Structure 1
Amino acid sequence: MKTVAQSVEQILRAQPFLEEVLQRSIINFSALAEELQPEIAAMLKKPVKTGAIMMALRRYHSPVGVSNNQKLKQAFKNLGDITVRSNISAFTFKNTNTLVNCHGKLLSYVSANTHLFYAFTRGILESNIMISGSETEKVNSFFEAEHLLMQREALAAISVQLPQDNFKVAGLYYQIFKHLAWQNIALYEVVSTTNEFTVLVEEDLVEQAFAAIKGLKAQ
């Protein structure tokens, strides 16, 4: 039979933000216990006192997590340049048999204009193209016969140079996403290579997003 402590652990593991503030002792245990009481009572199918929940919260020990990972902290200290590009346009097309041919035309154009920002992601049903806003007409021309699902203007791209072997560091992307989420910054697109990470946000959020990512170096 599941215990109160096990129920508390299940809830905290499913809500990493909540687990972190609990770990940092910046949350009211009594208020949190009252908040969790109905959910835990439903899980255990019996009445549960808030005192028992408070005791379970105080005794809870999170695993040696990403926030205390020395390898993670070192990785953030070794972050490279952070580059911001504004006036980015994004296009979402439905995947078709002819989309690749259109993309080939765009690649030929981009290769001759290396100053442009350009990124491409392909999913199962759709593909995204992100390119400097000055080239919107070129994209519309190359892909005029394709099914355009969405087009967005006035985006900004923030690119971060990651340290070598970053793919071996657990929690790296989680921390980046967490800092952005805590600033209430919604991401339009995420693009990554082995040693580079780029997020696209609306231009009016770029300063906040830049500050949030830069702040990771000071952790």
Structure 2
Amino acid sequence: MAVHSNNVTVPEAVRQILTRNYPIYQCLKMKLTNFHAIAEYIQPQVQELTGRKTTINTLVVAIKRFSDTLGETKTLDTAKALANLRISLSGDVADVTVKVRRPDIPKILQELSELGAELSDFPNIFPLTNSIKIILPSHDYDLIKTKLRHLNIIDAQNRVAKLSLFLPMDAWNTPGIASYITELLYRNGVNIIDAFLGHGDIVIVVNEPDGHVAYDVLRREVRPSP
């Protein structure tokens, strides 16, 4: 038996259904949809949520109104946050994954930090649940590769590119700023290999050919502060 709530309005039901359906949601954002076709598709789901029958025309109106709100993805707050975005692009980078046991993480982190201090540029080191990511220039990786042989390196991607994004600390109070940036790259055909989000900075690893594409896409979004 279907479970529904009569407190759910048709517009709210439409919003919930479309937000959770990623392919349709993306098509709506790009204005590549037939509202009538979507209305016919979601009509049974809307009825289940609201507990009442709804006409196709009513659903078309609700879908159109929801679609119109998606054009406001880049809000004024988001634009202001991006205005202070600083970007740097590094090519010829290595993205190394070390498989670890959780009890060994502190010891390995200390070892990697000591090795990193000997390099021309201290690497990005990210401890995860069962692995450690190391992002560093390829020539630096070549220098320390032999010293890492005792570690369980399960993947090492050479010749990738690294984007370092720096935002003022207060920019992280802007809802959705990180997802906006990653989705912006996705919409422009940039395949993100790895992404690490901190409070104030983001490190994104992409394929080498995508590096300049990603940089140019983000630069177009940046507006100088008044």
TM range (shorter): 0.7 to 0.9
Distance 1:125 1:98, change over 3 A: closer
Alignment of 1:75 onto 2:81: yes
Cα distance in structure 2, aligned partners of 1:111 and 1:75 = 33
1:14 is aligned, of 5, 14, 20, to: 20
Structure 1 unaligned regions, length at least 5? none
Alignment of 1:54 onto 2:47: no
Cα distance in structure 1, aligned partners of 2:32 and 2:214 = 29
Aligned-partner residue type, residue 40 of structure 1 = Q
**TM-score normalised according to structure 2 size:** 0.77
Q: Following superposition of structure 1 onto structure 2, how do residues 32-51 of structure 1 map, counting pairs within 5 Å?
A: 32-44=35-47, 49-51=55-57
How many residue pairs end up in the alignment? 213
Alignment of 1:27 onto 2:34: no
Kindly indicate whether the alpha-carbon contact (under 8 Å) linking 2:165 and 2:203 is maintained by their aligned counterparts in 1. yes
1:212 is aligned, of 206, 210, 217, to: 217
Q: Which residue of 1 aligns with 2:206?
A: 201
Alignment of 1:155 onto 2:181: no
Structure 2 unaligned regions, length at least 5? 1-5
Question: Structure 1 residue 158: deviation in Å?
Answer: 1.0
Cα distance in structure 2, aligned partners of 1:125 and 1:78 = 35
Question: Structure 1 residue 22: deviation in Å?
Answer: 5.2
What's the CA shift string for 1:50-76, capped at 9, x where partnerless?
A: 32321222344749x7522x3322111
Q: Which residue of 1 aligns with 2:150?
A: 145
Kindly indicate whether the alpha-carbon contact (under 8 Å) linking 2:115 and 2:144 is maintained by their aligned counterparts in 1. no
Alignment of 1:180 onto 2:151: no
Kindly indicate whether the alpha-carbon contact (under 8 Å) linking 2:84 and 2:223 is maintained by their aligned counterparts in 1. no
Cα distance in structure 1, aligned partners of 2:93 and 2:122 = 8
Helix, strand or coil at the partner of 1:190: strand
Q: Which residue of 1 aligns with 2:3?
A: none
What's the CA shift string for 1:18-45, capped at 9, x where partnerless?
A: 668757xx7367x133034223324535
Q: Which residue of 2 aligns with 1:5?
A: 11
Q: Which residue of 2 aligns with 1:105?
A: 111
Percentage of matched positions with identical amino acids: 14
Cα distance in structure 2, aligned partners of 1:67 and 1:11 = 22
What's the CA shift string for 1:97-147, capped at 9, x where partnerless?
A: 44543443332232233x326111111122211111113344432332222
Kindly indicate whether the alpha-carbon contact (under 8 Å) linking 1:34 and 1:50 is maintained by their aligned counterparts in 2. no
Aligned-partner residue type, residue 55 of structure 1 = V
Cα distance in structure 2, aligned partners of 1:6 and 1:168 = 26
Kindly indicate whether the alpha-carbon contact (under 8 Å) linking 1:84 and 1:156 is maintained by their aligned counterparts in 2. yes
CA RMSD of aligned residues (A): 3.2
Distance 1:17 1:198, change over 3 A: farther
**TM-score normalised according to structure 1 size:** 0.80
